[in-house]
Structure 1
Amino acid sequence: MTPTDARNRTGTPARAGAAGPAAPPWLAVALPAAALVALAALVAAGAFSGAFTAFAAFTDPGALVRWGAPVATIVTELSLAVTIGSLALAAFVLPRGPLVDRALGVAGVTAGLWTLAALIQLVLRFSWSTYLPLDAPGFGPTLMEYVTTITVGRTYLGIVVVAALTAAVALLVRGRVGALCALALPVVALGMQSSTGHAAGAASHDLAVSALFLHLGGAALWIGGLAAVALVGLRHAATADVIRRYSNIALWCFLAVAVSGLVSAWIRLGSLDGLTTDYGVLLLIKVVLLVVLGALGWLHRTTVVARLASPATTRDAAVGLFWRLTAVEVAVMGAVSGVAVALGSTAPPVPDEPIADPTPAELVTGHPLPPEPTLARWFTEFQWDVILAFGCAAALLVYVRWVLRLRARGDAWPVGRTISWCLGVVVLFWATNGGAATYGHVLFSAHMVQHMVLAMVVPIFLVLAAPVTLLVRAVPARKDGSWGPREWVLALVHSPWGRFMAHPVVAAVLFAGGMIVFYFTPLFELALTTYAGHVWMVLHFTLVGYLFANALIGVDPGPSRPGYPLRLVLLFATMAFHAFFGVALTSGTALLVPEWFGLLGRPWGPSAIEDQQRGGAVAWGIGELPTLLLAVGVAISWTRSDQREARRNDRKAERDGDAELEAYNAMLAQKADQARRGQG
């Protein structure tokens, strides 16, 4: 806290240990009100869907299970959200010092509650799905078999284990780096939870999983961040800087929840007629509540932050306004959570069941076989990925916003760099959502096109855009010890680990050798068969390609780049390796992942082995043009470097009368004179 923050409106210094304004008593009403609204939503869901009457046809597991399972789900999700929110605040928002450790303590406690609630949820959900009462004979052994042999059961048990690990790590680590490490654990749990939200053999499985992960992550960070601000401590947390940072995070969370919610709704509705069903009615209620939350967030941003930053506003008044808005947001968030649970208990118009009479392609990939590829279809066919598409849109928006911020204060930024970034992001979007993604799932040659574009085309555009330099110029440094994007990126770039990974030789080894490790190990099959493996593949290829291109032609701060001759040697060495890899595939007769590419039942195109050999030619041929562009870029940089060195020498000669040349000539004259004397 700055000295200005430590004074009230009259200028009297605040006591160092004074407690902040107490939360108003009506805030305590907000949480029960949220629970009551959520409970009402659950009752409505039971009335709408007939969930309770459905038990009449089966063995009733008991009232404890009927009512306890949804309540345990709400407690699990809310405690998970507060855990994520607290860790995110510690890593990205709160100033250094005891506040970060306090947020880690809150995360440890809520993660412990999350562990207990997730374990209870596992038991009650098993009883709910099997209609076995908790006191039924053999319940324990059957439950053990469920969590050890059934995929869904193992996933829920894994979430419990991750929750327990999160509690332990959050209580043991200290500082923002520890908070970031601990934050990775609940993110993994969200990924595991997302995989259970849609039947593996149902239509649009990967799209539903990506949308659900984005939805759960955005909602958890949004709700949990608000709760963490209140739990960590109002006197410290209710400052203009902290609330403004949380407000920025909440805005992105709102967009993520809205976009992913629309995608998930469309998958389950199927058409507009689905809005007239019970599921559609609950969905409309959730949309209305989400809009209300968005309006409250905007009001929060435009009033509370402005009043907290204004020297004419007493701190107590601004804090009181913050608590009132917080109470209403908590109530509406509770309602949204209740409706979300109710939606999960209501059958959607499009049943979440495996596809009836699937084709061979649907059995293997989970998607219908696309039509035979043509030049036009490479640019008109789409296989959407919500997370990667949202990431591309965010990358465009953030970069352009930073450029506009520079121009608003009178600083220039090269237009060519902006164009390069936009082109790179658009190509990345096409490679992950367009024709390359559509056909890369069923044709090895198309997959190789996707690989080459991600590793060799996209990185060149991104590197030439100099995003780190723009970040440093456009985003102001924080003065209170907290770490935002600027601080985290610079810390990573200048860390020993970052310098090692960005070293040109290491980047070249990762860039070239990574292909062998990926394609000739189970990693390739993992990327084809799991959504998490696919996302890892995209990030790996793009990041490794970026590190390699940045080592050769980058202008951002980072690696200790070698001399230009060595850069060309590294470039041509990787080009030769690519050629060797392509020749190996072209001449190979063993099919990679035969249980995937060999069982698709394609009525068009070459055979699987012929297509794989064509993919080898793609790896050899497509890599040549980006390599040539990189070579040209190195040559241009080399020429410009020589020109800059010549200009520096000319300016130095003008300042000192070319003293260096005079000294050199004098030295030559002295040696010549010595030589003449020796001959004489």
Structure 2
Amino acid sequence: MPRLVRVLAPAVLLAATLLALWLGLGIGGAAAERSIADPGAFVRFGLPVTRTIVNIAMAGLIGSVVMAVWVFANDRPETRLAMDFAAGSAAVLTVASAAATLFTYLDVSSQPFSGDASFGAGLAQFLTEIELGQFWLLELLLAAVTTVLAFAIRGRKLTLVVLVAALATALPLAQQGHAAGASGHGAAVNALLVHIVGAAVWLGGLLTLICIARTIDHQRLSAYTARYSSIALLAFIGVAASGVVSAWLRVGSWDALLGTGYGQLVLLKTGSLVVLGAFGAMQRVRLIPRIAESASGTRPFAWFVVTELAVMGVASGIAGALGRTATPVAVEPVRDQPGGIGPAEWLTGDPLPPELTPLRYLTEWKFDLLWALVCVFAIAMYLAAVVRLARRGDRWSAGRTTAWVLGILLLAYTTNGALNAYEQYLFSVHMLGHMMFAMLIPLCLVLGAPVTLALRATHKRGDGSWGGREWILWGVQTPFSKLVTHPAFAAVMFSGSLWVFYFTPIARWAAEEHLGHQWMIIHFLISGYLFNLSMIGVDPVPYRFPYPLRIVTLFATMASHAFFGVTIMTGDGLLLSDWYGAMGRTWGAPPLEDQSTGGGIAWGIGELPTLALALIVAIQWSRSDEKEQKRKDRADDRSGGAELEAYNEMLAQQARRDAQRSAPRR
């Protein structure tokens, strides 16, 4: 790639971003002086500029680490350059976060900057007591920690630590994007998180390709670009879907889309995303094959990248302007809105839904974009792997495919349907969702054998980089994997989590905080999956109990679940009384009676998947004995009965020795 392009590309990105940001602030009205508590032009423009730099630096950080983990060969110079780029981006993110924190305080306090003690005390109070300040302080700390990790770590496996830290830096920004306690807070946070991470991987990956282009030949550039293109396609889907959801939550109507500055900026950003999608399609269809054919193909690709970065800069600048533009639909906590609200809306931020009826289990929905995309990608990738096997003549069980699809559909319903809509208000619905996450969904997913399918469908890489196959093979052999997949550990985690979760403050955290609720879903899915895997899975694990011990373990966990359910049913105290007991519902069972129903669900309905597990273990045990007998029969047939003859001869020799010992001595 020409040196001019490598210098020009970042400059074009920065120039396009700042120009689009300036124009966007004018269109949206954020550049105009406020009539009340105006912080001054320096803050009005400084805050969106520093926020935009935060976004670009985060993109460089996340995108470069993703490329180092998934795309580049570890023993090549490009991986070192990618991690150097990640470390530099993390450092810029740290400095930009500090500047954005200061500008944010100046904006919300309307105080001029000064070095006196009162200004410092106000800033300290903002960082420690105000939620927005706490988010910025957390962002600054995460960025600083990630900077140290990115500079210190260079090993392939430890780079995963940097990746986790880099992804964590997106969480505080997603939480800032929607007021806590506002209607639709959880859905908006998840949508914005998808948007931030998707855009970061997309933009940062392309910047990383430019950074390492001088160290590789055209063949490796073609291979790396093809891998990046696949990642970018997933990122584009996530960015487009989350952009639609986030925009609609804030626009609210078609009139506002066309008649407000915010809506006009949304349309401009949508147009830039459409153009970028067309660029991505052209890159996959035309440019990547040209790079592979000859080195001359890198020159048009290089100028194409410059143009693409210019459009990405426009999208980034408009995004920065959108963050400072007033939304047609007010995004503020319901507690701060004028007029009276009910207890349920005070606690959850959402209005109390209508009475739950059997029909509403099918008609009531509360969509969560993050989990919807997880489910779509999970089904699409599984079916793509099955199709790949079929094209090369291999077969994959239709039953396993059905089990996987059913499990993912159940996950989609539980995270987006009536269970998600009512679980905050009814303990019984919450418990039903819990049983789905911990028992039924993992049972279906384990029967789908996704790891075995992935190992059969993915190709081994020969250039020193690690793809899906290499990471899976390493993952199942790590000491951590050996620990968490051990049947004893999985059983204790599976049954013990119930007691720890519901009889500690963790339950309140999961009910009240969005992050806590997401942790609950992930934890119980993983604990249920590991337990089912240790009992009936066919995917590779280091160790499984013998079948008799599996049956014993299953009945022990069943007894623990039953005891837990009875404890909830017969308890005379209300769990989370200031939550489920304070919703102000005028329909449904009283809270204590509803809690008793939830205990019955944990005891009765929750035991059905365990019984199914026991039945499957018994069937596998029977088939294992049959296979062993067939193996012995085949071995006997091959040896012509030699094993049986040898056994009979051994018995005859033993009989002769016994006869000699018992014969009378002369």
Aligned to 2:57: 79
Aligned to 1:436: 419
Aligned ranges for residues 476-555 of structure 1 at < 5 Å?
476-555=459-538
CA drift of 1:59 comes to 5.0
1:212 pairs with 2:195: no
1:627-676 CA-partner distances (Å, limit 9, x unpaired): 11111111111111111111111111111122221122222222333333
Counterpart residue identity of residue 261, structure 2? D
- Supply the distance in 2 between the matched residues of 1:513 and 1:481 (Cα, whole angstroms): 42
Aligned to 1:261: 243
CA drift of 1:240 comes to 2.0
- Supply the distance in 1 between the matched residues of 2:647 and 2:389 (Cα, whole angstroms): 47
Distance of aligned partners of 1:136 and 1:42 in 2 relative to their CA distance in 1, 3 Å threshold: farther
Contact map agreement 2:63 2:203 (CA 8 A) in 1: yes
Please give the secondary structure, in 1, of the residue aligned with 2:141.
Answer: helix
1:231-275 CA-partner distances (Å, limit 9, x unpaired): 234332852221111111100000000000010011111122221
- Supply the distance in 2 between the matched residues of 1:445 and 1:570 (Cα, whole angstroms): 27
Contact map agreement 1:27 1:324 (CA 8 A) in 2: no
Aligned to 1:7: none
Aligned to 1:67: 45
Please give the secondary structure, in 2, of the residue aligned with 1:239.
Answer: helix
Counterpart residue identity of residue 181, structure 1? V
CA drift of 1:415 comes to 1.1
Please give the secondary structure, in 1, of the residue aligned with 2:429.
Answer: helix
- Supply the distance in 2 between the matched residues of 1:506 and 1:354 (Cα, whole angstroms): 42
1:285-305 CA-partner distances (Å, limit 9, x unpaired): 100000000110111111222
- Supply the distance in 1 between the matched residues of 2:575 and 2:428 (Cα, whole angstroms): 12
Aligned ranges for residues 201-600 of structure 1 at < 5 Å?
201-236=181-216, 239-276=221-258, 277-310=260-293, 313=294, 315=295, 317-355=296-334, 356=337, 357-600=340-583
Aligned to 1:11: none
C-alpha RMSD of the superposition: 1.7
Please give the secondary structure, in 2, of the residue aligned with 1:413.
Answer: coil
Unaligned runs of at least 5 residues, structure 2: none
Counterpart residue identity of residue 593, structure 2? E
CA drift of 1:405 comes to 0.9
Larger mean CA deviation between 505-514 and 557-566 belongs to 557-566
CA drift of 1:34 comes to 3.6
Counterpart residue identity of residue 643, structure 1? E
1:183-215 CA-partner distances (Å, limit 9, x unpaired): 212222211111111111221111110100000
Of 125, 138, 156, which residue of structure 2 is paired with 1:158? 138
The normalised TM-score by structure 1 is 0.93
1:103 pairs with 2:86: no
CA drift of 1:504 comes to 0.9
- Supply the distance in 2 between the matched residues of 1:391 and 1:26 (Cα, whole angstroms): 37
Please give the secondary structure, in 2, of the residue aligned with 1:629.
Answer: helix
- Supply the distance in 2 between the matched residues of 1:53 and 1:308 (Cα, whole angstroms): 48
Contact map agreement 1:96 1:481 (CA 8 A) in 2: yes
CA drift of 1:400 comes to 0.5
- Supply the distance in 2 between the matched residues of 1:489 and 1:426 (Cα, whole angstroms): 24
Aligned to 1:658: 641
Distance of aligned partners of 1:581 and 1:59 in 2 relative to their CA distance in 1, 3 Å threshold: closer
- Supply the distance in 1 between the matched residues of 2:447 and 2:542 (Cα, whole angstroms): 15
- Supply the distance in 1 between the matched residues of 2:556 and 2:107 (Cα, whole angstroms): 60
Counterpart residue identity of residue 432, structure 2? V
Contact map agreement 2:33 2:41 (CA 8 A) in 1: no
Of 595, 602, 619, which residue of structure 2 is paired with 1:636? 619
Contact map agreement 1:448 1:615 (CA 8 A) in 2: yes
Of 153, 157, 172, which residue of structure 2 is paired with 1:173? 153
CA drift of 1:60 comes to 4.5
1:388-425 CA-partner distances (Å, limit 9, x unpaired): 11101100000001111111122111111111111010
Unaligned runs of at least 5 residues, structure 1: 1-20
CA drift of 1:458 comes to 0.8
Paired residue total: 654
Aligned to 1:134: 113
1:570-622 CA-partner distances (Å, limit 9, x unpaired): 11110011011111111112222222111100111122122111111110001
Contact map agreement 1:385 1:433 (CA 8 A) in 2: yes
Aligned to 1:49: 28
Larger mean CA deviation between 44-53 and 323-332 belongs to 44-53
- Supply the distance in 2 between the matched residues of 1:305 and 1:77 (Cα, whole angstroms): 28
